[in-house]
Structure 1
Amino acid sequence: MRLQELLTLSMAAGLVLAPMFANAQGQGNTATAREIFTCVDAQGRSLTADRPIAACADREQRVLSPSGTVLRVIGPTLSPREQAEREERERQAILEAQRAQEERRRARALVVRYPTLASHERERVDALAQIDVVTQAARNRVNELAQQRMKLNQELEFYGGDASRAPDSLRRQIEDIEQSTSVQKRFIADQEEEKRRVNQRFSEERALLMKLWPPSAMQDAPTSARGTTPASTSAKH
């Protein structure tokens, strides 16, 4: 009977202690998983808490593990205006990164298209030559119109040089020639502006390519092309 009573008491004690032991283990795990918030407030005091620190809402807070490892960093709480400014800065940074990436892509494409200075200069000359062809055609047309107008002026002399006294057909011819001449002259002016833009574009491309080309890319290029950039001119002096 004595042995049986002892066994009964042992089992009862085990049933009582088991939940307590489990609860102690659970508390130990909670303590292990606890996060520690730390910061330095506006007065220079180092603060520590088990939750975000209100006194440091306007500054950075570090979240540590019980072992002192930094788990994460919490930034300051921003006002709506500060948040909008931050988002704008981030947007501008993204745009700048995209522009830089596009510039790198453009630079690589230029080097592939123009592996040498000579190839770039040839395309410049060809582009300008095409503009000169259509510009010259327009100038020729202006000369033709001028000759036609001279003939009409001779007819107009019969009416004392007064177009109001001339027949409608003659007046219409004069008006048509004047209008066509005006159109051709505007076209010539536009082509001259296009020529300036083409020259500027090729000059900007060359300035960029001069930084990317290897020395061998300068070979076989006309001397005038090699010496047209300020950098190369100053290097000679």
Structure 2
Amino acid sequence: MRALLVVGLLLASSAWAAETTPGKGIYTCTTSDGRKLTSDRPIAECTSREQRVLNPDGSQRTTLPPYLSPEERAVKEAADRRAAAERVAAQDAIRRDRTLMQRYPTEAAHQRARNTALDDANKATRISERRIKDLGVERKPLLDEAEFYKGKPLPGKLKQALDANDAAVEAQEVLVENQKAEIVRINARFDAELARLKKLWAGAAPGSMPPLSELPKTTPPTTPKR
């Protein structure tokens, strides 16, 4: 009798362990016509509907999503990719705003950075403008010499020197125009940053604002006609 009791307890224990083994569960769903179905495996009648997976004690373990056709799966995967890209973009926006605030904790720090960027562009402009003046000085004796050949072809060496002077002046003029465009771009960038920083300093959450719009690219100036 005692042996039978031990065997019975062992059998009951084995049955309980089998029922609670990971992967086993009770599947339940409601069909489109309102019938509630239950099974120990996924229910074929509910492939297009959500199925609840229950533990043996009746608590919910997980949810089995509806079966998707290849077309539906492709749409869902595309939507999932878009959602993931949006999450990454949101995280990037937060990181950029935090980096911006760390770099420029005050308006004075931001203004110093603007002045430094503008100083480089202004220096390059002044160098080109000085070079244009020097080229003008170098051109004067060439023009004086050319006066002797009015109405006649210029000697090859003189013509070559005048053409080289013209090309050098035009190149410097293009550099000046490029630097002027760069100054406009620098100011536009710092203006946009400052507007954003003022909101962040006032308490706006990083990443809560639309991204800084892309600044239009400066169109390179054409070579000036002389």
TM-score tier by shorter-chain length is 0.7 to 0.9
Pick aligned residue for 1:116 from 106, 111, 125 = 106
5+ residue gaps, structure 2, are 204-226
Q: 1:99 aligns with which of 89, 92, 107?
A: 89
**1:155 corresponds to which residue?**
145
1:32 deviation in Å? 6.0
Partner residue in 1 for 2:51:
61
Which residue pairs with 1:179 in the alignment? 167
Q: CA deviation at 1:209?
A: 1.0
Whether the aligned pair in 2 keeps the contact of 1:41 and 1:56 (CA below 8 Å) is yes
Percent of counterpart pairs with the same letter? 38
Q: In the alignment, what sits opposite 2:128?
A: 138
Distance 1:107 1:32 in 2: 50
Partner of 2:69: 79
Consecutive unaligned residues in structure 1, runs of 5 or more: 1-9, 216-237
Counterpart CA distance in 1 for 2:33 and 2:165 is 86
Question: How many equivalent residue pairs?
Answer: 201
Q: TM-score, normalised by structure 1?
A: 0.70
- Greater mean deviation of Cα atoms: 104-113 or 70-79: 104-113
The alpha-carbon deviation at position 61 of structure 1 amounts to 1.5
Counterpart check, 1:88 vs 2:78: yes
The alpha carbon displacement at 1:193 in A equals 2.0
CA deviation profile, 1:190-220 (whole Å, cap 9, x unmatched): 21221122112211211221022259xxxxx
Whether 1:209 aligns to 2:197 is yes
CA separation in 2, counterparts of 1:199 and 1:177? 33
Larger radius of gyration: 1
Say which SS state the counterpart of residue 158 (structure 1) adopts. Answer: helix
Alpha carbons 1:153, 1:161 under 8 Å: kept: no
In the TM superposition, what whole-angstrom CA distance separates every residue of 1:27-71 from its partner, at most 9, and x where no partner exists?
Answer: 465456652112233344433222111222223221012322111
- Relative to structure 1, is the Cα distance of residues 85 and 153 closer, same or farther in structure 2, using a 3 angstrom cutoff? farther
Compared with structure 1, are the counterparts of its residues 115 and 23 closer, same or farther at alpha carbon in structure 2 (3 Å cutoff)?
closer
One-letter amino acid matched to 2:50? E
